[in-house]
Amino acid sequence: MKVIITENYNEMSKAAADLIAEEMNKKPNMVLGLATGSTPVGTYENLIKYNKENKVDFSQITTFNLDEYCGLNKENEQSYWYFMHDNLFNHVNINHNNINMLDGTNPDAEKECTSYDEKIEKAGGIDLQVLGMGHNGHIAFNEPCDYYSKGAHKVELQESTINANKRFFEDISQVPRASYTMGIGNIMHAKKVVMLVSGAEKAETVAKAFNGAIVPQVPASVLQLHNDFVLIMDKDAASKFSK
């Protein structure tokens, strides 16, 4: 595990974008796993800038997003489909046929998730997976529980996650109660994983996840077992972490 601690959010975002750009330049047709949420927004802004400056090329890149809310269609501004287009895809030269996201409107969870796993496999697996981390240590929407999940699956969101995500909705009743998500297995099979964490309110969870025991009750802790894992965080998030 490699740890990079930056002064603030902007530096974290630049460090992450630089790492992603370097990997994209090494393998222009790479398979890139992407996350939503507020943490990677600055990273995506930097990647958009690099793309406009011709420092990075998305034309042959294939993407797979981690997760999507159940029941929200693409036009819904709170859907992750909308978020990714608004914050990245609509501003770079990506081939839109190469964008893959779970379809939260498909009522057949089994079919949707199995076909997502198959698409990832067919693409040759994920070369670089970008991750954020929830306040309770969740990665993608793998909430704290008693086991690690393998492939994509449907999850019921925990109260703390619903509360954390209500800021994006008009009121809490509108936050979807379930989502489709990649499993821990999908994430652990990525060749390289980069996680971004920002802010003092996640410092406790960072320490638990990366100084503590590897347990599914703190899902992110499993990344300690990944052999090419880079944790990039600002100094507030790192304030309770010991190197």
Please identify every residue annotated as catalytic: 67, 136, 138, 143
DSSP of 1-40: -EEEEESSHHHHHHHHHHHHHHHHHH-TT-EEEE--SSTT
Q: Which residue is nearest to ligand F6R (CB)?
A: 132
Report if residue 188 touches ligand F6R, rule: CB under 6 A.
no
Q: How far apart are CA 122 and CA 189, in angstroms?
A: 14
CB nearer to ligand F6R: give 139 or 233.
139
CB 161: neighbour CB atoms within 10 A?
21
Total residues contacting ligand F6R by CB under 6 A comes to 14
Report if residue 205 touches ligand F6R, rule: CB under 6 A.
no
Taking the complex as a whole, the smallest distance from the CB of residue 199 to ligand F6R amounts, in Å, to 8
Cα 175 to chain centroid, rounded:
19
3-state secondary structure of 193: strand
Match 């222009």 to its residue by tokens: 28
Q: Which of residues 117-146 bind ligand F6R (CB under 6 A)?
A: 132-134, 138-141
Taking the complex as a whole, the smallest distance from the CB of residue 131 to ligand F6R amounts, in Å, to 6
Tell me the window of 5-13, 29-37, 94-102, 227-235 that interacts with ligand F6R (CB under 6 A): 29-37
Q: Which of residues 78-117 bind ligand F6R (CB under 6 A)?
A: none
Closest listed residue to residue 222, CA positions, set 98, 119, 139: 139
The CA-to-CA distance between both ends of the chain, in Å, stands at 10
Report if residue 62 touches ligand F6R, rule: CB under 6 A.
no
Which of 8, 25, 29, 38 binds ligand F6R (CB under 6 A)? It is 38
Q: Give residues in contact with ligand F6R (CB under 6 A).
A: 35-39, 66-67, 132-134, 138-141
